A and B are shown apart, each in its own frame.
Chain A
Amino acid sequence: MEDVVIYGLLRGGIFALAAFGFSLVLGVIGIVNFAHGAFVVFGGLLTHYMSTRFGLPYVVSLLIGSVGTGVLASSIQRLLIARTFKLEPLMVLVQTFGIATVITEVGIKYWGSEERMLRINTGLPPGFFIGGTFVPSFDALLFVVSLLSAGLLYIVLERTEFGRAVRACRDERQSAQLNGINLAATFEKTMFVSGVWAGLAGGMFITLSPIAPYMDFIWTVDSFLVIVIGGLGSMLGALIGGLLFGVLSFAAAFYAPTIAPSVTFSILLLLLLFRPQGLFGTGDAMRK
């Protein structure tokens, strides 16, 4: 029991990272980004490519991977989504589906379709015990890093001029525009931040578990699950949602491996029906 919780929490940190960007885009721009999972996978594979092909240190490749994903995300927003969003907002759903397919297929073309993983040698001791559970020190390190980057995102959103603009767009779009906030630019920057954190999640996850291009859809659904559990609109909700989802999915896979997907999706369905504002969401239920 204890080990399931601890391992679930360790994974949950990364799920939370992946969900931050998804939540941000859904809250601020108001679109469900089905390509988000493809961003996570792209970030992971770019990190892998940088460190295996060019032999860069892991931290540098992780940085390149996440910023590269951010650039990809914001250029997709500028070139494709912005136009459709203006004409037919709901079509963006299908459009991002197509974008996810394209990213996945191009990834398969150039990087191959096999699953791959990155082994990092940190030089730390192999691990330590919490109670009777062995905790690998690298996993613990990643958990700490994901909490730190969550804190960084919090500071970006709460303390900077960009964060103020983002929150203004989220709360009251028209008034924000009337106050001289450039909506299109803010949306692009939001998409950039979303992509950076998605790439970070992918780049960190690939050191723990294999990633392959075909996994994009699972990541999108997982991010959505985290938001549904934690509640839309608050970073804290997404963080707690991510940790809870980590424990939940780990427990489902541990106790009921054959029907694990049904268990997680049934919980999702029940949450959507009875608590669409999330377990910790305070605002009104978003059902549009």
Chain B
Amino acid sequence: MLARIGNCAWAIRQAALVGQLAVLGCCGLLAGLLPFVVNDYWVRVGAFVLINIGLASSWNIIGGFAGYASFGHGVFFGLGAFVAAIGIVRFGLPLYVVMLLGGAVSALIALLFTPIFRQRGMYFALSTLALLLIFDNVLQRWTFTRGLRSFDVGWSVQLPYGLHAYYYIFLATVVVLVASVMFLARSRVGYALHALRKDEVLASSIGIRVLRFKVIAFVVSAAWPGVLGAAFAPFLAFVSVQSVLDMRFTLNMILATIFGGAGTIVGPIVGAVALSIIDQFTWGNFLEYHRLIYGVLIVVIITFAPGGLTSIFWTLTRRSTAAGSAPSPGLPAVVKVEA
């Protein structure tokens, strides 16, 4: 039974891009049926799960595919939300315009920080963390971004959409996002990232322009959180540094990706869904110990299964030798054959 599931999953993994996109489309349609079968509470939970999937999948591009663990990626989500808030409240722009704008601004800012790629590993992580803390401070203090009046601490963003409308907006965005990740993984950019993650010196010696591809990965993985953040702003209704630039978002992206399996397409999705379930469960049953359980869980999982959920899946279905687990960011891969 397990072996059959494994074979089936392996077939999808090996399938042509069109096949994978079709599977993704089916999953998207299934998720689209959700508001018809459950009540509003679960639709709201579903919306948050979708946001988590989107954020984890975008972090995966830089952290998983390129192997550069960014510790300040939440900044792009926050920037998107702030762009949306300012665009909607100050200039009265419609939602789809601010979503595009949020992505564009995030991508532009990511591009400006190209010099960060002189760093690697931990130093890169710290540089991106510093980036987050700088933006945190600036957005909080600058009167243009603080709010309409000088004493405001945030933006109240109202749009005439219901919960279900937001659910479908998020769903559509996330489906396009995951499709773009699938496309990226099978493109020249994906192969180049794959090569440079395994050995950067070797990759550049065979003529791959390492810096260019790292910047492409960084910009793409920054643009998507910007789009999501812009859609998230009116959903949340109140945008401030505390609500959208929290360290929590960054940590969730990293944890979900690593929990599921970094460097794979399914990994971040599985990780985000699993973490959201755990999160819901602990909130509902042990509210007081919520953060403690979360922390313990991270430590336990990383101590005993550093490869993530997908690697456990492949081990269970005895495909481990052929398919291998996803290599974690920045490590010389232990994988022999890759899809």
B130 & A265 in contact (Cβ 8 Å cutoff):
yes
A93 & B69 in contact (Cβ 8 Å cutoff):
yes
B133 & A98 in contact (Cβ 8 Å cutoff):
no
Name which of A2-10, A102-110, A153-161 contacts chain B.
Answer: A102-110
A90 & B328 in contact (Cβ 8 Å cutoff):
yes
A97 & B121 in contact (Cβ 8 Å cutoff):
no
Shortest CB-to-CB span from A243 to chain B, Å, is 21
- Cβ–Cβ < 8 Å partners of A144 in chain B: none
A88 & B328 in contact (Cβ 8 Å cutoff):
yes
Shortest CB-to-CB span from B290 to chain A, Å, is 9
Shortest CB-to-CB span from B200 to chain A, Å, is 11
Identify the closest chain A residue to B300 (Cβ): A98
A101 & B298 in contact (Cβ 8 Å cutoff):
yes
- Cβ–Cβ < 8 Å partners of A148 in chain B: none
Please tell me which one of the listed residues B138, B302, B307 contacts residue A98 in the complex, with CB atoms under 8 A apart: B302
Name which of B12-20, B44-52, B186-194, B250-258 contacts chain A.
Answer: B250-258
A287 & B121 in contact (Cβ 8 Å cutoff):
yes
When chains A and B are docked, how far (Å) is the Cα of A26 from the Cα of B125?
A: 14
Task: Answer whether residue A56 sits at the interface, using C-beta atoms and an 8 A cutoff.
Answer: no
Q: In the complex, which of the residues B137, B298, B306, B331 has the most CB atoms of chain A within 10 Å of its own CB atom?
A: B306
B130 & A269 in contact (Cβ 8 Å cutoff):
yes
Task: Answer whether residue A183 sits at the interface, using C-beta atoms and an 8 A cutoff.
Answer: no
B138 & A102 in contact (Cβ 8 Å cutoff):
no
Task: Answer whether residue A151 sits at the interface, using C-beta atoms and an 8 A cutoff.
Answer: no
When chains A and B are docked, how far (Å) is the Cα of A278 from the Cα of B254?
A: 28
When chains A and B are docked, how far (Å) is the Cα of A272 from the Cα of B117?
A: 11
Given contacts A93-B69, A276-B119, A287-B118, contact A261 B136 (CB under 8 A): yes
- Cβ–Cβ < 8 Å partners of A32 in chain B: 122, 125-126
B328 & A102 in contact (Cβ 8 Å cutoff):
no
Please tell me which one of the listed residues B123, B133, B302, B303 contacts residue A265 in the complex, with CB atoms under 8 A apart: B133
A95 & B251 in contact (Cβ 8 Å cutoff):
no
Name which of A41-49, A79-87, A191-199 contacts chain B.
Answer: A79-87
Residues 259-292 of B at the A interface (beta carbon under 8 Å): 289, 291-292
Task: Answer whether residue A259 sits at the interface, using C-beta atoms and an 8 A cutoff.
Answer: yes
A102 & B127 in contact (Cβ 8 Å cutoff):
no
A288 & B303 in contact (Cβ 8 Å cutoff):
no
When chains A and B are docked, how far (Å) is the Cα of A261 from the Cα of B131?
A: 11
1/0 contact trace for A231-257 toward B, CB 8 Å? 000000000000000000000000000
Task: Answer whether residue B120 sits at the interface, using C-beta atoms and an 8 A cutoff.
Answer: yes
A105 & B125 in contact (Cβ 8 Å cutoff):
no
- Cβ–Cβ < 8 Å partners of A261 in chain B: 133-134, 136-137
Please tell me which one of the listed residues A98, A258, A268 contacts residue B141 in the complex, with CB atoms under 8 A apart: A258
Shortest CB-to-CB span from B268 to chain A, Å, is 14
A-B contact count (CB 8 A): 117
Residues 83-126 of A at the B interface (beta carbon under 8 Å): 83-84, 87-91, 93-95, 97-102, 105-106, 109
Given contacts A259-B138, A269-B134, contact A89 B122 (CB under 8 A): no
- Cβ–Cβ < 8 Å partners of A288 in chain B: 120-123
Q: In the complex, which of the residues A87, A98, A106, A258 has the most CB atoms of chain B within 10 Å of its own CB atom?
A: A98
Task: Answer whether residue A1 sits at the interface, using C-beta atoms and an 8 A cutoff.
Answer: no
When chains A and B are docked, how far (Å) is the Cα of A99 from the Cα of B300?
A: 10
Task: Answer whether residue A187 sits at the interface, using C-beta atoms and an 8 A cutoff.
Answer: no
Given contacts A93-B69, A95-B302, A101-B291, contact A273 B121 (CB under 8 A): no
- Cβ–Cβ < 8 Å partners of A106 in chain B: 292
Please tell me which one of the listed residues B127, B299, B331 contacts residue A88 in the complex, with CB atoms under 8 A apart: B331
Task: Answer whether residue A286 sits at the interface, using C-beta atoms and an 8 A cutoff.
Answer: yes
When chains A and B are docked, how far (Å) is the Cα of A266 from the Cα of B125?
A: 15
Task: Answer whether residue A175 sits at the interface, using C-beta atoms and an 8 A cutoff.
Answer: no
When chains A and B are docked, how far (Å) is the Cα of A134 from the Cα of B332?
A: 57
Shortest CB-to-CB span from A3 to chain B, Å, is 25
Given contacts A91-B258, A95-B298, A269-B134, contact A80 B329 (CB under 8 A): no
Given contacts A269-B127, A272-B126, contact A98 B330 (CB under 8 A): no
Shortest CB-to-CB span from A136 to chain B, Å, is 30
A266 & B134 in contact (Cβ 8 Å cutoff):
yes
When chains A and B are docked, how far (Å) is the Cα of A90 from the Cα of B120?
A: 12
1/0 contact trace for B122-149 toward A, CB 8 Å? 1101110111011011100100000000
Shortest CB-to-CB span from B248 to chain A, Å, is 11
1/0 contact trace for A170-190 toward B, CB 8 Å? 000000000000000000000
When chains A and B are docked, how far (Å) is the Cα of A102 from the Cα of B293?
A: 8
- Cβ–Cβ < 8 Å partners of A258 in chain B: 141
Shortest CB-to-CB span from B42 to chain A, Å, is 28
- Cβ–Cβ < 8 Å partners of B121 in chain A: 90, 287-288
Shortest CB-to-CB span from B82 to chain A, Å, is 16
Task: Answer whether residue A221 sits at the interface, using C-beta atoms and an 8 A cutoff.
Answer: yes
Task: Answer whether residue B115 sits at the interface, using C-beta atoms and an 8 A cutoff.
Answer: yes
Given contacts A273-B115, A273-B116, contact A97 B69 (CB under 8 A): no
Please tell me which one of the listed residues A95, A105, A109, A287 contacts residue B303 in the complex, with CB atoms under 8 A apart: A95
- Cβ–Cβ < 8 Å partners of B126 in chain A: 32, 224, 228, 268, 272
- Please list 8 pairs of residues, one from A and one from B, whose beta carbons are closer than 8 Å in the complex, sorted by A's number: A90-B121, A91-B302, A94-B258, A95-B298, A259-B137, A259-B141, A269-B134, A273-B127
12 further A-B pairs in the complex, CB-CB below 8 A; given A90-B329, A228-B126, A262-B141: A88-B331, A91-B306, A98-B296, A101-B294, A105-B292, A259-B138, A262-B133, A265-B134, A266-B134, A273-B119, A287-B119, A288-B122
- Which residues of A approach B to under 8 Å, CB–CB? 26, 32, 80, 83-84, 87-91, 93-95, 97-102, 105-106, 109, 217, 221, 224, 228, 258-259, 261-262, 265-266, 268-269, 272-273, 276, 286-288
Which 4 pairs across A and B sit closest by C-beta, in order of nearness?
A: A101-B295, A98-B298, A105-B292, A88-B306
